[in-house]
Amino acid sequence: MSLVENQVVSNQLQNTVVGKTIVKVVANQNPHTFVWFATEPQYAFAAAEVSHKQAEQYEALLTGKVIENSEVHFGSYSTYNFLYVGDRALMFSLPTRYYAPGEKPPKRHQLYLVFDDGSSLALCGSLGGAVYLFRVDENGLAADYPPPDTPSVLSDEFSESFFLDLIKNTDLAKLKPAKTVKCFLATNNRIPGLDNSILHEILWEVQVNPKSDMAALGEAEYKRLYAAIKKVFPAVIAAGGLDTGKDIFGNPGTYATQVSRNTLGKPCGRCGAPIIKEPHLGGAVYYCPKCQPILKVKRSGF
Q: What is the closest distance, in whole angstroms, from the C-beta atom of residue 181 to Zn ion in the complex?
A: 17
**Rounded CA gap, 211 and 182, in Å?**
7
Choose the binding region for Zn ion from 24-32, 69-77, 148-156, 282-290 (rule: CB under 5 A): 282-290
Q: Does the footprint of Zn ion cover residue 17 (CB under 5 A)?
A: no
**Rounded CA gap, 122 and 10, in Å?**
14
Q: Does the footprint of Zn ion cover residue 280 (CB under 5 A)?
A: no
DSSP label at residue 180: B
Count the residues of the shown chain that bind Zn ion, applying the rule CB under 5 A.
7
Q: Does the footprint of Zn ion cover residue 231 (CB under 5 A)?
A: no
Which lies closer to Zn ion via its Cβ, residue 24 or residue 266? 266
Q: What is the closest distance, in whole angstroms, from the C-beta atom of residue 90 to Zn ion in the complex?
A: 43
Give the C-alpha distances (Å, rounded to integers) separating 251 from 24, 191, 247: 26, 27, 5
Q: What is the closest distance, in whole angstroms, from the C-beta atom of residue 287 to Zn ion in the complex?
A: 8
Q: Does the footprint of Zn ion cover residue 206 (CB under 5 A)?
A: no
Q: What is the closest distance, in whole angstroms, from the C-beta atom of residue 231 to Zn ion in the complex?
A: 18
Give the C-alpha distances (Å, rounded to integers) separating 241 from 11, 33, 41: 11, 28, 30
Q: Does the footprint of Zn ion cover residue 291 (CB under 5 A)?
A: yes
Q: What is the closest distance, in whole angstroms, from the C-beta atom of residue 206 to Zn ion in the complex?
A: 12
Q: Does the footprint of Zn ion cover residue 276 (CB under 5 A)?
A: no
Which lies closer to Zn ion via its Cβ, residue 190 or residue 270? 270
Q: Does the footprint of Zn ion cover residue 207 (CB under 5 A)?
A: no
**Rounded CA gap, 160 and 157, in Å?**
9
Which of 52, 270, 277, 280: binder of Zn ion (CB under 5 A)? 270
Which lies closer to Zn ion via its Cβ, residue 234 or residue 272? 272
CB 67 within 8 A of CB 18: yes
Which lies closer to Zn ion via its Cβ, residue 223 or residue 290? 290
Which lies closer to Zn ion via its Cβ, residue 205 or residue 213? 205
Q: Does the footprint of Zn ion cover residue 268 (CB under 5 A)?
A: yes
Q: Does the footprint of Zn ion cover residue 271 (CB under 5 A)?
A: yes
∠ CA 83-31-123, rounded to 5°: 30
Choose the binding region for Zn ion from 158-166, 169-177, 247-255, 281-289 (rule: CB under 5 A): 281-289
Q: Does the footprint of Zn ion cover residue 48 (CB under 5 A)?
A: no
DSSP label at residue 30: S
Which lies closer to Zn ion via its Cβ, residue 124 or residue 217? 217
**Rounded CA gap, 33 and 127, in Å?**
10
Q: Does the footprint of Zn ion cover residue 194 (CB under 5 A)?
A: no
156-170 residues labelled b (16+ CB within 10 A) or e (exposed)? eebeeeebeebbeee
Give the C-alpha distances (Å, rounded to integers) separating 25 from 2, 21, 63, 184, 245: 27, 11, 6, 40, 27
CB 200 within 8 A of CB 206: no
Q: What is the closest distance, in whole angstroms, from the C-beta atom of residue 289 to Zn ion in the complex?
A: 8
Q: Does the footprint of Zn ion cover residue 288 (CB under 5 A)?
A: yes
Ranges of H-type helices in the chain? 3-16, 48-55, 58-62, 160-168, 181-186, 196-205, 219-238
Residues in contact with Zn ion by CB under 5 A are 268, 270-271, 273, 288, 290-291
